[in-house]
């Protein structure tokens, strides 16, 4: 399916801004200067503001309970320990902690990430790791490296909206493979590959954003087998696999597939997203390519944040911290599911993810989650409409709920309010 937007080259800054609320054009004293008429690239003219970031404006309304963003719980940020790491790295590394550093990332952090990966069965060394400014940058870098306009990427359906945004910028086209409870319907994959000759297969294999679903081991084997046979790289975007609440850990795609898989990791959900530190774990042959792309993007990731995270890891604090987050989010997931069972009409179905941050909800066929969102906002609650994750405009009757960010009291209150609204608005 082609979701590439077609717009003419005559696009102006004003047209693009009209599509992007919150950006104000500046006043100028000179009559000759009119920034709204400056010609801009088609890449930017066709760029749509992320629906999720748009939704965050509701989150700032007073009294609103937001289940919309994918924000970690702020009270779980280990502020005191991070503060100690700040002091310690200034003492230990002095000016180096503030200096330009390598585009691949600082060596000790890359080594520490490789070591953690090895413990999870992913054979890696520092040479396989490039530090990025979050996994979002990694997605865009991968598109820069592999996608010419019109190239096809196979994705799950639904899929992560931020990836689509990054891929759209490079005018990718898509083939979608639907999900069921065992993840991507890999049985449909080969046919799609034969038809569309994709450059990449993009998946969020574990506790997927948005659906919370996880690809079964059998499907992982099959996916790796097919991708290897056709020599098509799998990009496994993996912010969530360490946030497991119950069930057995499933061997990662990269542990199964080795060099056919490029895994993206991030400290956003394990530590704090504001640090903006993630990584690419890829085959040694392609890392110099990513290194050059990174240089073009921003030279290197934030040196200070890299040292800070390295110090935190070196003090052995991360594993215990992840246990704490898992306990906190697991309790919140249970609470939200219990409240939904009590307050939502039984015609709404939800997923029961074993980890991650999200529940995925389906309203009865024919319902419109977007329309209902207006009523939800009247009740001062928000969610993200499922259409955001269906680049072809599908999934009208679906929506995503985040359970990590709100506290217990607001989870129950927000679900009660939503339940009241649904009971009133949905056919009984």
Ligand X SMILES: Cc1ncc(COP(=O)(O)O)c(C=O)c1O
Give residues in contact with ligand X (CB under 6 A): 70, 134-136, 160, 162, 204, 209, 237, 239, 266, 268, 273, 278
Residue closer to ligand X, measured from CB, 45 or 147: 147
Minimum distance from residue 172 beta carbon to ligand X (Å): 16
Residue closer to ligand X, measured from CB, 93 or 202: 202
Residue closer to ligand X, measured from CB, 151 or 237: 237
Residue of 234, 190, 236 lying closest to 209 (CA atoms): 236
In whole angstroms, what is the distance from residue 307 CA to residue 302 CA? 9
Residue closer to ligand X, measured from CB, 273 or 353: 273
Whether the CB-CB separation of 260 and 289 falls below 8 Å is answered with: no
Residue closer to ligand X, measured from CB, 93 or 207: 207
Pairs from 14-22 (Cβ < 8 Å, separation ≥ 24):
15/45, 16/40, 16/44, 16/45, 16/47, 19/48, 19/49, 20/49, 21/49, 21/54, 22/57
Minimum distance from residue 277 beta carbon to ligand X (Å): 8
Minimum distance from residue 49 beta carbon to ligand X (Å): 16
Minimum distance from residue 19 beta carbon to ligand X (Å): 23
In whole angstroms, what is the distance from residue 324 CA to residue 327 CA? 5
Q: Can you tell me which residue has the tokens 């069921």?
A: 180
In whole angstroms, what is the distance from residue 311 CA to residue 316 CA? 9
Minimum distance from residue 345 beta carbon to ligand X (Å): 28
Pull the structure tokens for residue 244.
Answer: 């497991």
Query: Given phi > 0 = left and psi -120 to 50 = alpha, else beta, which region is 247?
Result: left
Which residue's Cβ lies closest to ligand X?
134
Residue closer to ligand X, measured from CB, 135 or 224: 135
Minimum distance from residue 296 beta carbon to ligand X (Å): 18
Residue closer to ligand X, measured from CB, 198 or 273: 273
In whole angstroms, what is the distance from residue 315 CA to residue 112 CA? 12
Minimum distance from residue 53 beta carbon to ligand X (Å): 11
Give the relative orientation of helices 408-425 and 318-343 as an angle to the nearest 10 degrees: 30
C-alpha count within 13 angstroms, C-beta hemisphere, residue 390: 16
């Amino acid at each position: 399916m082609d979701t590439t937007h077609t717009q003419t080259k005559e696009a102006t800054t004003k047209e693009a801004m009209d599509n992007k609320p919150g950006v104000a054009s500046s006043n100028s004293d000179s009559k000759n200067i009119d920034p709204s008429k400056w010609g801009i690239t088609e890449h930017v003219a066709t760029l749509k503001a992320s629906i999720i970031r748009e939704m965050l404006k509701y989150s700032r309304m007073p009294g609103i309970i937001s289940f919309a963003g994918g924000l970690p719980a702020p009270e779980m940020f280990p502020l005191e320990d991070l503060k100690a790491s700040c002091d310690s790295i200034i003492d230990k590394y002095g000016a180096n902690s503030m200096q330009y550093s390598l585009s691949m990332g600082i060596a000790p952090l890359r080594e520490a990430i490789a070591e953690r990966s090895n413990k999870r069965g992913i054979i890696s060394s520092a040479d396989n790791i490039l530090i990025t400014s979050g996994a979002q940058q990694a997605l865009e870098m991968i598109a820069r490296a592999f996608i010419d306009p019109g190239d096809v990427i196979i994705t799950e359906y639904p899929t992560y909206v931020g990836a689509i945004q990054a891929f759209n910028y490079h005018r990718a086209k898509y083939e979608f493979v639907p999900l069921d409870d065992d993840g991507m319907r890999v049985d449909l994959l080969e046919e799609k590959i034969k038809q569309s000759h994709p450059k990449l297969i993009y998946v969020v294999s574990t506790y997927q954003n948005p659906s919370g679903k996880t690809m079964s081991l059998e499907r992982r084997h099959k996916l790796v087998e097919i991708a290897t046979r056709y020599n098509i790289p799998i990009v496994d975007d993996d912010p969530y696999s360490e946030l497991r609440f119950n069930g057995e850990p499933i061997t990662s795609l990269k542990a199964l597939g080795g060099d056919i898989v490029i895994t993206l990791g991030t400290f956003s959900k394990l530590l704090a997203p504001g640090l903006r530190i993630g990584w690419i774990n890829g085959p040694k042959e392609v890392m110099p390519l990513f290194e050059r792309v990174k240089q073009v993007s921003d030279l290197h990731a934030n040196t200070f944040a890299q040292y800070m995270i390295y110090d935190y890891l070196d003090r052995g604090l991360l594993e215990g911290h992840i246990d704490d987050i898992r306990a906190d989010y697991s309790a919140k997931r249970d609470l939200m599911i219990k409240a939904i069972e009590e307050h939502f009409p039984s015609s709404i179905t939800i997923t029961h993810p074993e980890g991650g941050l999200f529940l995925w909800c389906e309203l009865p066929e024919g319902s419109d989650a977007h329309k209902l969102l207006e009523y939800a906002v009247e009740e001062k609650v928000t969610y993200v409409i499922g259409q955001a994750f269906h680049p072809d405009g599908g999934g009208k009757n679906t929506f995503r709920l985040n359970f990590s960010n709100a506290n217990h009291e607001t989870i129950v209150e927000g679900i009660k309010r939503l339940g009241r609204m649904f009971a009133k608005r949905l056919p009984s």
